[in-house]
Structure 1
Amino acid sequence: MTVYFEEEGALTLPVNAKEIAEEVVEGALDYIGCPYEAEVNLLLTMNEQIHEMNLEFREIDRPTDVLSFPMLDYEEAGNFDFLEDCAEAFDPESGELVLGDIVISKEKVLAQAEEYGHSPRREYAFLIAHSVLHLCGYDHMEEEERLVMEQKQREILEKLEILR
């Protein structure tokens, strides 16, 4: 499993961001039963940059906490069976499944941690778990989907012992 990690902006999170990202991505993929080694790109940025991306890609004119850019379209969330005949979904050099990109606002991590009364580590891990689920086909547009995602996020973080 590979997390390609990049950080921009002067603000630094008070956590070991790369190490936590690797732990949560691996934990989330193990939890949902991804049968492949995988790679994810993670960018930590500032509100101004994520605002621009949110406007460009989602036509929402405000900063957000996390954006997910999946590389694959799943017929069923968390079902990787369709990849058996999909060589283009794998990095030709590493052989890893290319899941997609995650962008997180460092400013939102800190603000939301304070707002929700938990640590920046927990908020950061939550956003990564949430985004990995998106990269694996999960969504929360419908109430039933939202409940499934919330349960999975909670269980991933509990298994990793990253609690409120």
Structure 2
Amino acid sequence: MTLYFEEEGEGRLPLECESFARQIIEDTLNYIGCPYEAEVSLLLTTNEQIHEMNREFRGIDRPTDVLSFPMVQYPVPGEFAFLEETQDCFHPESGELLLGDIVISKEKVLEQAAAYGHSVRREYAFLIIHSVLHLIGYDHMEDEERQIMEAKQREILEHLQIMR
């Protein structure tokens, strides 16, 4: 797996962000049954920067915890068979599946970990899992979709033994 990792702004999370993110992304994709090696970009940023991105890309004028920018639209979440029909979603040199980009607010990780009474490690893992599920077609706009996505998030966190 290729992970393009970048961190901007002041402050750091109290964990090894890049290696832990790589582990969580790989474990999530393995759990889901992704049959391909994948490429993901992850940016850790500030509330100010994610606020600007949220306003620009989603029309929502406030900071958020995580943004996901999938490269492929999945007709069925987490089902990869349709990808064999096109090569557009694979890196031409590495052959890796181009999943997309994840942007996480470091400040929101810290705030939400404190608010929910769990570790920064757990919150960071949760946001990465949440975003990876978005990158492979899961969503939570409709109630049924939300229930499916939330159940999948819980399953993966339990499988990885990352508890509250």
1:140 aligns with 2:140: yes
Alignment RMSD (CA, Å): 0.7
Q: Which amino acid aligns with 1:130?
A: H
1:9 aligns with 2:9: yes
Return the alpha-carbon distance in structure 1 between the equivalents of residues 117 and 144 of structure 2: 27
- Alignment deviations for residues 92-141 of structure 1 (CA, whole Å, 9 cap, x no partner): 12110000000000000000000000000000000000000000000001
Deviates more, 1:23-32 or 1:50-59: 23-32
Q: Which amino acid aligns with 2:126?
A: F
Q: Which runs of 5 or more residues in structure 2 are unaligned?
A: none
TM-score by length of 1: 0.98
Give the aligned partner of residue 152 of structure 2: 152
Give the aligned partner of residue 115 of structure 1: 115
After the TM superposition, which segments of 4 or more aligned residues of structure 1 sit over 4 Å from their partners?
none
Give the aligned partner of residue 91 of structure 1: 91
Return the alpha-carbon distance in structure 2 between the equivalents of residues 148 and 129 of structure 1: 14
Give 3-state SS (helix, strand or coil) of 2:88's partner: helix
Q: Mapping of 1:1-164 within 5 angstroms?
A: 1-164=1-164
Return the alpha-carbon distance in structure 2 between the equivalents of residues 159 and 4 of structure 1: 25
Q: Which amino acid aligns with 1:23?
A: Q
- Alignment deviations for residues 18-43 of structure 1 (CA, whole Å, 9 cap, x no partner): 11101110111111111100010000
Percent identity, aligned pairs only?
Answer: 71
Return the alpha-carbon distance in structure 2 between the equivalents of residues 138 and 35 of structure 1: 17
Q: How many residues align?
A: 164
